[in-house]
Structure 1
């Protein structure tokens, strides 16, 4: 388990601007494969929140506040291609396994806060991380998480700061209904293959395998068990 540490850096008002600029520059790189993130940035619907330390619970209440706000904003105006990114100042030296541990510790803490605040789990998905229908839920909306960090083995997940990008599950379902999901998925995978030299073995469609295996970006081994456990009523 990653030990709790005091924040690496004193918080500075300029930090938000610097982290937001860094992520948006990363997404605009022509080689970056995720066309959904590029669309969100172009539409001004990529929200970026600067945070301190991904191995610390310091910002968890604030992050959960943002997730609740984001979920409600989507219900009020359900437009496509919206993402909420939490960009942490550090640590910048985490291995893939250490980042994976930190990511799931943040996820567990955020989910526990969702339960504590009386939020219901999105009944369109499962809270069981072993289920092929698993997704996280915050504020009653299902989310898929994409982890980025400096030492990711996949180039598309390699970013200067530890980052957790929260994407709404409902957007993927709407793309399926519009007949656009498969084409977009193939485009992303083709671009990722061009960047990395191979296709990401962790990618699977919702309903085929648990998406939990994809969150950290590490190629997890056979027999890997997700450390997440929902603390509310079964969903």
Structure 2
């Protein structure tokens, strides 16, 4: 049976096969300083996740996230990230993409619940809380959605993709002041490349995280289409 390290080695090999992810992260229109640093240092794991329209067909992504979480060292540098890149498909509206993004996250969580895997103690299970982030395999993630129909260039990728960044790594960076420095560089780059800072993005852990995932601008009345499930016992 493949170990976590074997799975991650395979994912790194796949990342070399698909240069579209590499080119996008390196491009001027993608402002995230942490992701750029991780890519430059070989710390981006890319998973080919199949059809975006089939959120229940998630075995590859579920196993990859489990392996990623098992090998994640919160205190280590450089920052690490996992990108789930889905097959190319016709362009969706931002609302359509958002609906499927949450369907994927719900399906991953439901799989955890059926297996009796609990939620991380570091985040809330309530998607309306500023302390919420999605959990898979017991690891909490802030998710960034990318797709061809995104209105903002920073989120406009040639195919659907979900970027999983460790919540606990963000917290470690914030605790020692590195997060604030990365945030300033990222926002300065977005201002230059995109003309403005995404109004949906806020300081980490200071506003609700869930509305930021898809990149679509939503109002105060937006309700997150996610339901927490109690893990199965026994």
For this structure pair, what is the TM-score category when the shorter chain's length is used for normalisation?
0.7 to 0.9
SS in 1 for 2:25: helix
Q: Deviations over 1:9-35 (max 9, x none)?
A: xxxxxxx56873110111112342111
Aligned-residue CA RMSD (Å)? 1.8
Gaps of 5+ in 2: 1-13
Match of 1:5 in 2: none
Single out whichever of 211-220 and 198-207 deviates more from structure 2: 198-207
Match of 2:110 in 1: 112
1:181 matched to 2:182? The reply is no
* TM-score w.r.t. length of structure 1: 0.87
- Runs of 4+ that moved beyond 4 A: 16-19, 75-78
Q: Note closer, same or farther for the CA distance 1:76–1:28 as it changes in structure 2 (3 Å cut).
A: closer
How many angstroms does 1:103 deviate by? Answer: 0.3
Partners in 2 of 1:125 and 1:206 — Cα distance?
12
Q: Note closer, same or farther for the CA distance 1:206–1:232 as it changes in structure 2 (3 Å cut).
A: farther
Match of 1:9 in 2: none
Match of 2:226 in 1: 228
Match of 1:11 in 2: none
Partners in 1 of 2:207 and 2:74 — Cα distance?
31
Q: Note closer, same or farther for the CA distance 1:81–1:20 as it changes in structure 2 (3 Å cut).
A: farther
Match of 1:81 in 2: 79
- Residues 91 and 149 in structure 2, CA contact (< 8 A), matched pair in contact too: yes
Q: Deviations over 1:49-84 (max 9, x none)?
A: 112211213641221111110000104984441111
SS in 1 for 2:64: helix
SS in 2 for 1:53: coil
How many residue pairs match? The answer is 218
How many angstroms does 1:87 deviate by? Answer: 0.5
Match of 2:159 in 1: 161
SS in 2 for 1:86: strand
* TM-score w.r.t. length of structure 2: 0.87
Gaps of 5+ in 1: 1-15
Question: Which residue of the other structure, out of 24, 32, 35, is the alignment partner of 2:33?
Answer: 35
Partners in 1 of 2:30 and 2:74 — Cα distance?
30
Single out whichever of 159-168 and 189-198 deviates more from structure 2: 189-198
Q: Deviations over 1:193-219 (max 9, x none)?
A: 111211111111233221001000101
Match of 2:212 in 1: 214
Partners in 2 of 1:213 and 1:80 — Cα distance?
27
Q: Note closer, same or farther for the CA distance 1:17–1:205 as it changes in structure 2 (3 Å cut).
A: closer
Partners in 1 of 2:16 and 2:94 — Cα distance?
24
Alignment of structure 1 residues 43-82 onto 2, 5 Å: 43-57=41-55, 59-75=57-73, 78-82=76-80
- Residues 135 and 142 in structure 1, CA contact (< 8 A), matched pair in contact too: yes
Partners in 2 of 1:143 and 1:24 — Cα distance?
21
